[in-house]
Structure 1
Amino acid sequence: MTEPFTLDDLSRLIANRAAASADKSYTRSLLDSGTARIAKKFGEEAFEAAIAAVERDGAGLKAEAADVLYHLLVLLQDGGVPLQDVIEELARRTQQSGHQEKASRP
């Protein structure tokens, strides 16, 4: 049985592809286009995921959610924020209720 593919795997793949040439790697070309372009792509994919959810399009939602996760991880790569830092932030937040956590934010 093969190991399941994880967000850590995707994060490593993005880091590896970031080191490739832009003519061979969409990830590298996206990183070369700058933060604003990456953020725009992330936003577009998130919007498309939201539309698929509203339309109850399960297959579309699955595909768009994959695009959202990919573009989020590229955005994190661009910003120098390791996925593990995000996981640790989520772990910290889940130690209290969502209402308590939100109220504690500055």
Structure 2
Amino acid sequence: MKLEQFYEIITERKKTMPDNSYVASLFREGCDRIIQKIGEEATEVVIAAKNSDKKRLIEEISDLWFHMLVLLASKNISLDEINEELEKRQK
């Protein structure tokens, strides 16, 4: 599954807010909880980069990116907007 597909699922969960959804629970708890999770996951990425094997690092980066997608959706920022910003930096 590509990042775009994950983002679509996340935005759908934001709209429907199912009771049994981890993503919906993050939206219910608000921005502070989402950024707390990003901080936790970023720390785990740093530790994995220093002390772990490639597989563990991939797992931790995936967790971080997932929570970043949740933050983007919570702030109504699209992946296209991020891609546009990254393209500006190629110059």
TM-score (norm 1): 0.80
Task: Identify the structure with the greater helix proportion.
Answer: 2
- Where does structure 2 lack aligned partners over 5 or more consecutive residues? none
Q: After TM superposition, what 4+ stretches of structure 1 lie above 4 angstroms from structure 2? A: none
- Where does structure 1 lack aligned partners over 5 or more consecutive residues? 96-106
Which has the larger Rg?
A: 1
Residue 17, structure 1, aligned to residue 13, structure 2? yes
Residues 35 and 13 of structure 1: CA distance in aligned 2, closer, same or farther (over 3 Å): same
Residue 80, structure 1, aligned to residue 76, structure 2? yes
TM-score (norm 2): 0.92
RMSD, aligned α-carbons: 1.2
Residue 92, structure 1, aligned to residue 88, structure 2? yes
CA distance in 1, matches of 2:54, 2:16: 34
One-letter code aligned to 1:59: K
Identity %: 37
CA distance in 2, matches of 1:12, 1:21: 14
CA distance in 1, matches of 2:52, 2:59: 13
**What does 1:13-52 correspond to in 2, within 5 Å?**
13-52=9-48
Count of residue correspondences: 91
